[in-house]
């Protein structure tokens, strides 16, 4: 039941960035380009492997001593999620001068939610031996999808109940809806406080606090470089009416920003901001180990994930807007897509949990990677050194 409740808490935030937020912005009068732009706020889910080793390596002052390494990080992530949802609820997007504040709150929600996913997965892997992981994954999936039902169908029901429609937009209706979502995240907080810290067999190297601070500084510098590059490169790119050309420009936009962030991180290590050995162990070694372990199969694995996530993300961002433009109400969308669709996913998750123990799979040398959710294929290589 632990993984069910933690999964529920993990499933709430993602739709508050994607589909539910898309309908909110659409009812507030924004066009599709603005709605889809907000999907950048969830970029943290795609790049959480970058700071996953950081979360694993860095203890939190006081909290780690009181709650343990995993529970302390889960609690911080959940509190940040609640704060971000509350901030989004407190901003009326029709006031365009405040729209960028809502975007910042959405980015915080994506970052903190991705962090929660990282630590909950680590907690699950350390909670039980490999033979029980498929069952725990099934419970986590069920809870995650229940959270998605609440944040998807539940949010649409609530916004409809409080009186917001496409014809008569009500900020108060969406504000109250998001406030309720923030309050329900209390389920995750309570669960985190009452569960036990798992026993880890990992051998950790004790380092001075200054080493951890330097490691965090390199990460912060890289993120700052990414943000600055993203804003400035975007301002330099030309506008176009061609969908394909616009897509290519966005690819260049993202890759350039990532390149700048990587260069800043590399230079920070080279000039001695952090010890090279520590930086290598934290960020380079997991990737090298992943490709060494899986060889050419790693490329097929990444291609599978990429192709799967393209359709998944596109549907999550714009599908609700498409349905509403066709004349369906939020209640219709909630009934057909967010309720029935997710129930079928839950059933599939349980079926996968039952079948996985009967299927042979390569768990790797440390038994940490396993056959399960598509997201697990992303999480495992990122966490190989410790999870």
Q: Would 265 be classed as within a structural domain?
A: no
- Domain assignment of residue 38, yes or no: yes
Average pLDDT over residues 292-308: 84
Q: What pLDDT digit, counting tens, does each position of 313-334 carry?
A: 766 677 888 888 888 888 888 8
Q: Write the pLDDT tens digit of every residue in 149-160.
A: 899 889 999 999
Residue-number span of the structural domain to which 67 is assigned: 2-201+318-383
Q: What is the CATH number of the domain that holds 25?
A: 1.20.1250.20
| 385 pLDDT higher than 80 | no
The number of folded domains in the chain is 1
CA atoms within 13 A on the CB side of 23: 37
43 within domain boundaries: yes
**pLDDT-based confidence at residue 91 (cuts at 50, 70, 90):** very high
Could you count the other beta carbons within 10 Å of the beta carbon of residue 119? Answer: 26
141 part of a folded domain: yes
The phi, psi pair for 346, rounded to 5°, reads -60, -45
Domain for residue 279, yes or no? no
pTM of the entire structure?
0.82
How large a percentage of the chain has pLDDT more than 90?
37
Q: What is the pLDDT of residue 186?
A: 95
Question: Does residue 174 lie in a domain region?
Answer: yes
For residue 78, the tally of other CB atoms under 10 A from its CB is 29
Confirm whether 264 is domain-assigned. no
Say how far residue 284 (Cα) sits from the centre of its chain: 22
């Amino acid at each position: 039941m632990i993984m069910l409740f933690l999964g529920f808490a993990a499933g709430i935030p993602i739709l508050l960035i994607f589909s539910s937020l898309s309908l909110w912005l659409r009812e507030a009068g924004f066009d599709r380009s603005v709605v889809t732009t907000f999907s950048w706020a969830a970029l943290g889910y795609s790049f959480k492997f970058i700071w996953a080793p950081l979360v694993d390596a860095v203890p939190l002052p006081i909290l780690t001593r009181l709650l343990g390494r995993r529970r302390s990080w889960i609690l911080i992530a959940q509190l940040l999620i609640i704060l971000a949802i509350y901030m989004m609820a407190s901003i009326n997007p029709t006031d365009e001068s405040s729209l960028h504040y809502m975007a910042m709150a959405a980015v915080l929600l994506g970052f903190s939610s991705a962090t929660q996913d990282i630590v909950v997965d680590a907690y699950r892997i350390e909670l039980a031996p490999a033979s029980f992981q498929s069952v725990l994954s099934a419970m986590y999936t069920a809870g995650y999808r229940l959270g998605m039902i609440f944040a998807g169908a539940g949010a649409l029901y609530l916004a409809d109940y409080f009186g917001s429609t496409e014809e008569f937009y009500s900020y108060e209706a969406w504000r109250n809806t998001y406030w309720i979502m923030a309050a329900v995240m209390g389920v995750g907080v309570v669960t985190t406080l009452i569960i036990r810290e798992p026993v880890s067999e990992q051998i950790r190297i004790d380092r001075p606090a200054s080493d951890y601070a330097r490691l965090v500084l390199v990460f912060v510098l890289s993120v700052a470089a990414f943000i600055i590059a993203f804003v400035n490169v975007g301002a330099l790119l030309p506008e176009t009416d061609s969908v394909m050309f616009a897509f290519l420009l966005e690819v260049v936009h993202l890759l350039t920003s990532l390149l700048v962030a990587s260069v800043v991180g590399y230079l920070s290590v080279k000039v001695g901001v952090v010890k090279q050995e520590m930086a290598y162990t934290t960020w380079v070694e997991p990737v090298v180990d992943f490709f060494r372990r899986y060889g050419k199969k790693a490329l097929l694995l990444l291609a599978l994930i990429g192709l799967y996530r393209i359709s998944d993300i596109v549907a999550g961002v714009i599908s609700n807007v498409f349905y509403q433009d066709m004349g369906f109400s939020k209640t219709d969308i909630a009934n057909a897509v967010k309720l029935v669709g997710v129930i079928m996913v839950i059933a599939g998750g349980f079926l996968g949990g039952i079948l996985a123990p009967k299927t042979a799979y390569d768990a790797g040398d440390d038994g940490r990677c396993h056959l399960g959710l598509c997201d697990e294929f992303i999480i495992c290589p990122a966490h190989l050194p410790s999870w």
